[in-house]
Structure 1
Amino acid sequence: MTVVDIITNGSQEGALSPQNAISTSKWTVHVEVRLRPRAAARFDTIRNLVHAYICAFDRLGLPSTLHGWQDIPELAASVERIAVSESACPSHTLALEDMALQIHVYQPSDSDSFEEFSNSAGVRDDDDDTMAASVCELPNRSWEGLWDSLIYADNIKMKLLDYIHATLVLSDANVDFNLVSWNRVVLLHGPPGTGKTSLCRALAQKLSIRLSHRYTHARLLEINSHSLFSKWFSESGKLVQRLFNGITELVEEEDAFLVVLIDEVESLTAARAGAMAGTEPSDGLRVVNALLTQLDKLKHRKNVLIMSTSNLVKAIDSAFVDRADIVQYVDLPPREAIYEILRTCLCEIIGKGIVASVSVPTLKQAQIYEATSRTTPSTASLPTSDPQIKTRNVALRLLALAAQCRAQRLSGRALRRLPVLALARYIGIGNVHTFGVSSSSIATSNGQPSPNSPGGADVDVWLEGMEKVVKEQATELERLN
């Protein structure tokens, strides 16, 4: 997170504790070790083995997936994946001597079970049994890879991680809340489809891994904002208070970390000015007051984080916005982020054998191709049997498609459904004959196709299909407006 790190002699115990901190010039590098579902090995044993394995390297990629540990029997029997996470270091690689390693061993839950809070208890309408919130145990296997799939123009993800790190450092130092105060509240706002809710869930998953040395388990509680409004006058404020009483009970477990997600927070925090003017129900005023009171009570708990999202930030009460330590705008992706989103989509369907094997360049490689294309003859008309020419053409065409998507202001949600629409409308289901193919022997670890992957539709056909979808959506949007 910063170049000032904590050295723990290979152990995570005491990490982030100021009394154990030693100022160094090394970069913190997080290594995440995912265990197999039924692995019974001790976490500290695996951590020490991974640390010894990594020390054999001279440099590590940031980020990267490590290989070769399968030759160590103890790791092969228990470990599923070892990945080096992204770092604040601006370089894409880093020498081992310049790293302060933090190794996180975790075993994600396979269950999709959710503990639910009902808002019907004590309410006069016994038929009103809408769930007020759901709780998910973390880390959860269903959210593996979500963090890496989210691509933004600026460093939003690292900003959020740095914020959590800062609150833990200050809490561990017992900083006087009367002098230095924070509320453990984050507000993400922006257009629909930009991944705000997904980012909250991914951050909760990431924190459950990064803080596993401090907390034995973690939970994500998602509040169903709409269920907290009762048709009985004045009940909604009581429902909010009842829900947060349950949240307080969860926070009482000091060895558990809790992330509370309030999606579409404007439903609970509509500006009280409207209620005062008589244009909004007075029950909404009670809801806002109850929520703000409960947030003030939770801010003294170091094992809770409140995440909120909104598409209508101007509708949120100013008192809630003022309580947010971070108010982060999540914009529609720029061309560079769009390229990476489309590249990951394309690599996925190539890896599954739906698209014929081809190498899809990274953004940096594509930009090099784009820069050199201005001074070298076009290869679009040349035979594409040469893999290098094929790769270059794919990169340039994908960059052009990314520019079209940016011009149409497509959201991340819209971008990730382009392959589906292209298949349904222009490629045709009958042209894909790879359903049921096992992906384990197709995709490589970096998302590129295996040389032995079965043939699918040509990548140019898919690119053309997605180009047609973007043009079609532009036409439909003009009609809508």
Structure 2
Amino acid sequence: MDGEDDRNIDAIWPLHIEVRLKPDVVTRFDTIRNAANTYITSSYSTLTFPTTLEGWQDNSVLSSSVDRIIACESPCPSTSLPIEQIALQIHVYQYSENDTPEEYSNAGGAEGEEVMAATVCELPSKMWDGLWDSLIFSDDTKSRLLDYIYATVLFSDADVDFNIVTWNRVVLLHGPPGTGKTSLCRALAQKLSIRLSHKYPHSRLLEINSHSLFSRWFSESGKLVQGLFSSVMDLVEDEETFVTVLIDEVESLTAARAGAMAGTEPSDALRVVNALLTQLDKLRYKKNVLVVSTSNLAKAIDTAFVDRADIVQYIDLPPREAVYEILRSCLLELINKGVVAPVDVPPIHQALSYVNTSNSSLNQSTISPRERARQVSVRLLTLAQKCRDQGMSGRSLRRLPVLAHARYIGLSYVPPAKSRAASSSVSESMATSPPTTPSPAPTQRVNGTSKSRGAQIVLTGMAGLGTRVEVWLGAMEKVVENREAEVKRFEK
């Protein structure tokens, strides 16, 4: 054991640094990469990750070109390393100038039927900024996918003989709806466009519309699949472009051939499956392509497709700890935007340590910021457990703040021109009792326009006053309670 610790002390760990450039900057990426490396190695004795780096604004090369520098992740089990033990992996990237997806259509059928078969997006795209970090799973799903891609790139660069060691560049994510499968595929494509930018200056994401590929013309669907993948092959022919192909709800294309052969499925479905498998076999020889797919009905997928997937990953509903971090990320975003008043919301490991030590009362007149953070985290953890007991998906969890505001906060009447403490006390009372139907609010002139006082308060809150986090917790708790009752009615 001591020997293992000694090896870890002497080990050199890779640490990924992402450097985002400002729009319209034309400085060479390698110039920025060298400047960032020099700055980090000369300015830091220890790096903590993940974290946003500061201080580089004093560097003339970086300040004129760089928008943000983030120390992301490392395979090191620690979250902090001395600079001597770090091998910096610096990735410089810039958002694509074109954020509008391009639609791909196929012509099929005897009358030249137009089918919207796919969309193509240039990467990295601003609309998916932060998507990777927003996805929270209980295991190492994200790092496992990245490591898989790195392995395929390494084997391809080493020109490993396909007849001896094989891989298909296909990933299948399956699980209940709303667990983030499609978002993870998009975020992975975005992340790869950044991490592989030194090797592939350009990246694209092609999303296949599985449902549209079944033509109303008999026997045409297989031809549509072939035509679409011919377009994919054209994209892949550019060896400086990395292409990620996303097949969402892949069961629509890969319905089990056994059903078709038994006569329970249309013969056209059999042609589609065969056409897809043939095209995948052709793509596997290309170094600059990855096929990612999702499914809510894994049992409906043809076994031949599953066999071609290098990774078959189940994406489950989030456990309590992941639910906590998802809700915490929502609160932090609202705090950052001024909707929720500033407060410390501890991460999950601190929340777990507070469970048996925090005072459960949230109505103390005088409370330290540290104790308040303890109480907020314990209450949020309790809410996370309730969400988990109901089997709420990540998609449902991220809707909670909107529903909480719509049902219990937005319609609350709060007198105008009050101090933060007074406003908070009124808001707290609204959070602890069911809202009543408000009487018409008095109106006043605001910038020459008649506005209700309630509306003025909403605008004031958005401008920076914010609502206390306890109010939001109370509102979200009620949404979850009401959801449980509605689900029971629905299931009757």
State the TM-score, normalizing by the size of structure 2.
0.86
Q: Which residue does 1:49 correspond to in 2? A: 35
Q: 1:340 is matched with which residue: 321, 325, 329?
A: 325
**Aligned pairs for 1:160-171 within 5 A:** 160-171=145-156
- Given that 2:338 and 2:466 are in contact with CA atoms closer than 8 Å, whether structure 1 keeps it comes out as yes
TM-superposed deviation, 1:74: 2.1
**Aligned pairs for 1:110-121 within 5 A:** 110-120=97-107
Which amino acid in structure 1 is aligned with residue 29 of structure 2?
F
1:279 lines up with 2:264 in the alignment: yes
SS in 1 for 2:114: coil
Q: Which residue does 2:110 correspond to in 1? A: 124
Q: Which residue does 1:354 correspond to in 2? A: 339
**Relative to structure 2, which stretch is displaced further, 306-315 or 107-116?**
107-116
Matches of 1:193 and 1:432, distance apart in 2: 34
**Aligned pairs for 1:320-469 within 5 A:** 320-373=305-358, 378-429=360-411, 454-469=464-479
Q: 2:24 is matched with which residue: 38, 43, 47?
A: 38
Q: Which residue does 2:168 correspond to in 1? A: 183
Matches of 2:458 and 2:67, distance apart in 1: 26
Q: 1:101 is matched with which residue: 88, 94, 98?
A: 88
Matches of 2:385 and 2:269, distance apart in 1: 43
Root-mean-square deviation over aligned CA pairs: 1.8
Matches of 1:315 and 1:205, distance apart in 2: 29
- Given that 1:354 and 1:434 are in contact with CA atoms closer than 8 Å, whether structure 2 keeps it comes out as no
SS in 2 for 1:129: strand
| Alignment CA distance shift 1:53-1:236 (3 Å) | same
Q: Which residue does 1:198 correspond to in 2? A: 183
Matches of 1:432 and 1:199, distance apart in 2: 38
- Given that 1:261 and 1:306 are in contact with CA atoms closer than 8 Å, whether structure 2 keeps it comes out as yes
Q: Which residue does 2:300 correspond to in 1? A: 315
TM-superposed deviation, 1:433: 5.4
Which amino acid in structure 2 is aligned with residue 389 of structure 1?
E
Q: Which residue does 1:6 correspond to in 2? A: none
- Given that 1:29 and 1:99 are in contact with CA atoms closer than 8 Å, whether structure 2 keeps it comes out as yes
TM-superposed deviation, 1:111: 2.7
| Alignment CA distance shift 1:27-1:315 (3 Å) | same
Deviations, residues 82-139 of structure 1 (Å, cap 9, x unaligned): 001122211111111111111011011243222222122x53234x433101110011
1:141 lines up with 2:140 in the alignment: no
Q: Which residue does 1:268 correspond to in 2? A: 253
| Alignment CA distance shift 1:280-1:83 (3 Å) | same
| Alignment CA distance shift 1:436-1:247 (3 Å) | farther
Q: Which residue does 2:66 correspond to in 1? A: 79
TM-superposed deviation, 1:384: 4.8
Matches of 2:313 and 2:460, distance apart in 1: 42
Which amino acid in structure 1 is aligned with residue 36 of structure 2?
V
Which amino acid in structure 2 is aligned with residue 35 of structure 1?
L
State the TM-score, normalizing by the size of structure 1.
0.88
Q: Which residue does 1:10 correspond to in 2? A: none
Matches of 2:187 and 2:461, distance apart in 1: 27
- Given that 1:434 and 1:456 are in contact with CA atoms closer than 8 Å, whether structure 2 keeps it comes out as no
TM-superposed deviation, 1:39: 1.6
Matches of 1:308 and 1:179, distance apart in 2: 26
SS in 2 for 1:201: helix
Matches of 1:179 and 1:353, distance apart in 2: 58
Matches of 1:339 and 1:160, distance apart in 2: 23
- Given that 1:357 and 1:455 are in contact with CA atoms closer than 8 Å, whether structure 2 keeps it comes out as no
Matches of 1:229 and 1:284, distance apart in 2: 8
Q: 1:478 is matched with which residue: 464, 467, 488?
A: 488
**Relative to structure 2, which stretch is displaced further, 110-119 or 405-414?**
110-119
Q: Which residue does 1:251 correspond to in 2? A: 236
Q: Considering only CA atoms, is the larger Rg found in Structure 1 or Structure 2?
A: 2
**Relative to structure 2, which stretch is displaced further, 104-113 or 188-197?**
104-113
Which amino acid in structure 2 is aligned with residue 65 of structure 1?
T
Matches of 2:357 and 2:215, distance apart in 1: 63
| Alignment CA distance shift 1:378-1:266 (3 Å) | closer
TM-superposed deviation, 1:160: 0.3
Deviations, residues 268-291 of structure 1 (Å, cap 9, x unaligned): 000001111111101000000000
Q: Which runs of 5+ in 2 are unaligned?
A: 1-9, 413-453
Q: Which residue does 2:438 correspond to in 1? A: none
Deviations, residues 392-444 of structure 1 (Å, cap 9, x unaligned): 111111111001101011000000000000001111256675777899xxxxx
- Given that 2:461 and 2:467 are in contact with CA atoms closer than 8 Å, whether structure 1 keeps it comes out as no
- Given that 2:410 and 2:458 are in contact with CA atoms closer than 8 Å, whether structure 1 keeps it comes out as no
| Alignment CA distance shift 1:75-1:436 (3 Å) | farther
Matches of 1:432 and 1:367, distance apart in 2: 39
- Given that 1:352 and 1:438 are in contact with CA atoms closer than 8 Å, whether structure 2 keeps it comes out as no
SS in 2 for 1:101: strand
Amino-acid identity (%) = 63
- Given that 1:432 and 1:456 are in contact with CA atoms closer than 8 Å, whether structure 2 keeps it comes out as no
| Alignment CA distance shift 1:95-1:432 (3 Å) | farther
